[in-house]
Amino acid sequence: MTNFKWIGAFYMIENCELHHVGYVVDDIESTAGQFARLGYQVGEVLFDKGLTVELCYLTKKNSVTIEQVHQLQADSLEAQLWQANGVMPYHLGFETADLDEACREMERLGYRSLFAPVPVEALGGQRICYFHQANVGYVELLERQA
């Protein structure tokens, strides 16, 4: 029997574009150095005061972008993941033209929103929202910039 919610979730993600794989890190420079050895170009370290986080994007032609996330709040999800596991991939980031509609669709499909969409100053005000689903893990939606 077909599970329509699963098909619906797959369809929704299909209509978004994979933007990055997010890695939780404690030392952006050290992790970036390892990815540089794999041919990645290291972007600038961005600091977002509102989210209290450092971000760094690593790019490589014909490869997925890596987003390094260094959360500076000790009680955050990312800090807890890093303490338990060290450096690790922990979310997929998808970009969408209509963030508000995509968020409503994610919730209809059973994804639990971790917070309402918020602007990220370090990304030029681009809004994001995180979701969790037990069979998928963490998913970040990013509002596509015009």
**pLDDT digit string (tens) for the chain, length 146 residues:** 333 344 555 555 557 899 999 999 999 999 999 999 999 999 999 999 999 999 999 999 999 999 999 999 999 999 999 999 999 999 999 999 999 999 999 998 899 999 999 999 999 999 999 999 999 999 999 999 87
Query: How far is residue 142 from each of residues 4, 50, 104, 123, measured CA to CA in Å?
Result: 25, 16, 14, 10
Tell me how far apart the alpha carbons of residues 30 and 72 are, in angstroms, rounded to a whole number.
Answer: 16
Tell me how far apart the alpha carbons of residues 68 and 110 are, in angstroms, rounded to a whole number.
Answer: 27
End-to-end CA distance of the chain: 41
Query: How far is residue 93 from each of residues 4, 106, 138, measured CA to CA in Å?
Result: 23, 14, 9
Q: How many CA atoms lie within 13 A of 135 on its CB side?
A: 6
Q: What is the pLDDT of residue 14?
A: 57
**DSSP character string of 25-48:** -S-HHHHHHHHHHTTPEEEEEEEE
Q: What is the pLDDT of residue 6?
A: 47
- CATH architecture type of domain 4-143: Roll (3.10)
Q: What is the pLDDT of residue 10?
A: 54
Which residue is it, tokens 């989210």? Answer: 51
Report helix, strand or coil for 130.
strand
